Amino acid sequence: MPLIAADNHLLLWAFIMLAAAAAIVIEQNVRWAAKVPGAVIALLIALAASNLGLIPTESPVYDAVWGYIVPLAIPLLLFQLDLHSVLKESGRLLLIFLISSVGTVLGVLLGFAMLHRHIPELDKISGMIAASYTGGGVNFAAMTAKLEPSQSITAATIVADNLMMACYFFILMTLPALPAVRRFWGSPHQDALENSNNGSNQNQAAAY
């Protein structure tokens, strides 16, 4: 029996809002957390609370979040899109995006062929993951609303998706710092930044 009952809607809404606010504060004020998406932090808070028996795993409050708040968040996020900037700055990034999207779709098809006998509702999960990795959280939410997987599958997919993305971002941030990788691929922007910083430090030392 969780500390906050599933039918205690007021306390559950309070917890959801406090968890979201805490994730934003942590993301903006803690150095290590600035490299982790706020959604991941909020999910970790919810996971910890659920496993510690503070909140239930199922509740009508969660249904309201997925039924109303998430669909409302999709157009709100799209309102921030600057089409002029996208058309002006896309350039060859569009080709790179299309190539990566094809790779994502092929990976999803391969994963489905290998695991569809072992994971329930994998057809829906595949669509949600493909949408997430080609268009981000907005696409994930839209596909979830369209395909309507079970709540437990949705929650598990969100956790797996965000944790894998956190690991992926960590790898991307770590690789450029490795000397072997920098020697092989080159790092002109990082080298220019370091040279600029070294020059600034030498000028300050000469001034002293």
- CA distances from residue 83 to 24, 51, 115 in whole angstroms, order as listed: 27, 43, 39
125 shares its domain with 32: no
pLDDT computed for residue 14 by the predictor: 93
The number of distinct structural domains making up the chain is: 2
In a domain, 147, yes or no: yes
Fill in the amino acid letter for 116: H
47 shares its domain with 78: no
pLDDT computed for residue 114 by the predictor: 92
User: What is d(CA 191, CA 183) in angstroms, rounded to the nearest whole number?
Assistant: 11
Beta-carbon count within 10 A of 177 CB: 10
- Structure token digits, residue 134: 């080609």
80 shares its domain with 173: yes
User: What is d(CA 5, CA 93) in angstroms, rounded to the nearest whole number?
Assistant: 49
53 shares its domain with 75: no
85 shares its domain with 7: no
What range does the domain containing 35 cover?
Answer: 1-57
User: Model's pTM, two decimal places?
Assistant: 0.53
Dump pLDDT digits (tens) for 11-60.
Answer: 999 999 999 899 888 888 887 766 666 777 787 788 788 888 888 877 88
Beta-carbon count within 10 A of 42 CB: 20
pLDDT computed for residue 198 by the predictor: 63
Run means of pLDDT, 10 residues per run, the chain, 208 residues: 87 91 86 69 82 84 79 73 71 81 92 89 90 80 85 81 74 74 72 65 57
pLDDT computed for residue 26 by the predictor: 87
